[in-house]
Amino acid sequence: MLNKLQFYIDGKWVDPVTPRPHDVINPSNEEAFARISLGSKADVDKAVAAARRAFETFSRTTKEERLALMAKIVEVYQKHYGEIVEAISTEMGAPLGLSKNAQAAMGIAHFSQAMNVLKEFNFETVKGSTAIVYEPVGVIGMITPWNWPINQIACKVAPAIAAGCTMVLKPSEIAPMNALLFAQVMDEAGVPPGVFNLINGDGPGVGEAMSAHPGIDMMSFTGSTRAGIAVAKAAADTVKRVAQELGGKSANIILDDADLKKAVVSGVMNMFSNSGQSCNAPSRMFVPRAKHDEAAGIAKVAAERAKVGDPFADGTTMGPVVSEAQYNKIQGLIQKGIDEGATLVTGGTGRPEGLNRGYYVRPTIFANVTNDMTIAREEIFGPVLAMLPYDTEEEAIRQANDTVYGLSGYVQSGDIEHARKVASQLRTGNVHLNGAGVDLNAPFGGYKQSGTGREWGEFGFEEFLEVKAVMGYAA
């Protein structure tokens, strides 16, 4: 059992004000493998005080000084890369290859991208006699999730440092070990005391205290829409800026002129990546009604190729979901799909054959789903794909938009102009055409209840800046 009971505050590892131990569970075997402490408002007060002191000097550092610091962070991160990979696979269940090639890799990617943005960014321009000046927001409260843990930490911390902000991070208490390693990286890289602070904790104990704290100037939150609403409400009394990346129920529209097999297979594999635990997963596949049964057959074959098992075993393509609570939620929604009359193509309730412990879910495909069914409306956050037949393109677009979410959309077509036309009608923050992947230069974020604000690239960098107008600056 690993004991990591301290927090990182003001450049030091410190004990919590009030000890409150919490076991971290390995989802592959349901056993506790580490113990952390859950913090309190008193710990938040200490971290915020440190961050406010540090802001006085760090906000005045030069672009060159921050670039050098970020380069050092990347250098030290690379030294700990293997440990971070192992931590992610152990605590949230991502297969080792996914942890190495995507999960941990995004940490370096976001820092590298933020450095590129910082190099080119002009913090001061003059329009007429007025100077337009960009300045750091101040102390940032950051709350990050368990599903892409380092990705979400880095895409907040990197631009915040680049902008000259200081910060207090609360990672998910479900998968906190990678964040503790990240704090170690920041310490070894020589990040000035108080610039980066980490407190483990849950939402009621730490998240609410951060959101309501008058010493925090901005909250940057990634997680469920329910929790995001709570953050926004708690932040309202201090009128702080709130940026949120929340839930999703993304539509994948396969148009009649698409290569059906290629589109369906790529959609299935994308859905099952990370055990379906991605907010932008293409969880609703819209298929022309005349091709629906054929598409369901293709999806069944693709789904049954997935190898579910130990994240550290060779050949595993899908690990467990993160927790018992998540497992039970997914099982309930799969049963709901069956009860409401969707056609179960493959998968279903229970664990895959041969797996008797661990939070493993059977890769599941439902066909003949209608847009009023629960599995078409609610974010499942597991390896469950709903296939919806449509009669006209207009119907597919209307149903794709008929959701409270608006994070991502996917369009498959043999004609790029056709795909672009459909993309222009989707009410989502991101649209992927013909299997295009993510772009770190592009803004990431959603419409409607998928959030406010944007992350990644220049757009994410500007979230951490205030704009000041200085009149009479130029004669």
pLDDT of res. 475: 74
Q: Once rounded to an integer, what is the mean pLDDT over residues 350-358? A: 96
Q: Is pLDDT of 343 > 80?
A: yes
CB 342 within 8 A of CB 374: no
At 105-127, the pLDDT tens digits run 999 999 999 999 999 999 999 99
Query: For residue 393, what are the contacts with CB-CB under 8 A and spacing of at least 6?
Result: 255, 256, 422
Give the Å distances, CA to CA, from 281 to 113, 305, 346, 418.
Answer: 23, 19, 19, 22
The first and second tokens of residue 210, run together, are: 């951060």
At 151-191, the pLDDT tens digits run 999 999 999 999 999 999 999 999 999 999 999 999 999 99
CB neighbour class for 114 (10 Å; exposed up to 12, middle 13-18, buried from 19): buried
Report the predicted TM-score, pTM, of the whole model to 2 decimal places: 0.97
Query: For residue 59, what are the contacts with CB-CB under 8 A and spacing of at least 6?
Result: 135, 136, 138, 164, 165, 166
- CB-based burial, 301-338: b 16+ in 10 Å, e otherwise: ebbeebebbbbeeeebbbbbbbbeebbebbbebbeebe
Q: Once rounded to an integer, what is the mean pLDDT over residues 454-474? A: 97
Q: Is pLDDT of 369 > 90?
A: yes
At 291-315, the pLDDT tens digits run 999 999 999 999 999 999 999 999 9
pLDDT of res. 384: 98
CB 107 within 8 A of CB 88: no
Q: Once rounded to an integer, what is the mean pLDDT over residues 207-230? A: 97
How far, in Å, CA of 317 to CA of 308, rounded?
Answer: 6
Can you spell out the DSSP letters for 265-291?
A: HHHHHHHHGGGG--TT---EEEEEGGG
pLDDT of res. 378: 97
Catalytic site positions: 245, 279
Q: Once rounded to an integer, what is the mean pLDDT over residues 336-351? A: 98
Across the beta sheet with 451-452, the strand order is 12-14, 7-9, 196-198, 166-170, 139-143, 218-222, 241-245, 451-452
Model confidence at 244, in pLDDT bands (50, 70, 90)?
very high
- CB-based burial, 160-190: b 16+ in 10 Å, e otherwise: bbbbbbbbbbbbbbbbbbbbbbbbbbbbebe
Q: Is pLDDT of 469 > 90?
A: yes
Q: Once rounded to an integer, what is the mean pLDDT over residues 198-220? A: 97
Q: What sign does the dihedral 386-390-393-395 (CA atoms) show?
A: negative
Q: Once rounded to an integer, what is the mean pLDDT over residues 89-101? A: 98
Q: 258 — phi, psi (to 5°)?
A: -80, 160
pLDDT of res. 100: 98
- CB-based burial, 392-430: b 16+ in 10 Å, e otherwise: ebeebbebbbebebbbbbbbbbeeeebbeebbebbbbbb
How far, in Å, CA of 279 to CA of 269, rounded?
Answer: 15
CB neighbour class for 209 (10 Å; exposed up to 12, middle 13-18, buried from 19): buried
How far, in Å, CA of 76 to CA of 191, rounded?
Answer: 11
Give the Å distances, CA to CA, from 215 to 141, 192, 290.
Answer: 10, 19, 59
CB 404 within 8 A of CB 382: no
At 319-333, the pLDDT tens digits run 999 999 999 999 999
| Pairing between β-strand 2-4 and β-strand 31-37 as defined by DSSP bridges | parallel
Nearest-Å Rg of the Cα atoms of the chain is: 23
Percentage with pLDDT > 70 across the chain: 100
pLDDT of res. 74: 98
Q: Once rounded to an integer, what is the mean pLDDT over residues 230-241? A: 97
Local structure of residue 204 (DSSP, 8 states): I
pLDDT of res. 457: 95
Domains and CATH numbers, the chain: 2-246+450-470 (3.40.605.10), 251-439 (3.40.309.10)
How far, in Å, CA of 318 to CA of 320, rounded?
Answer: 7
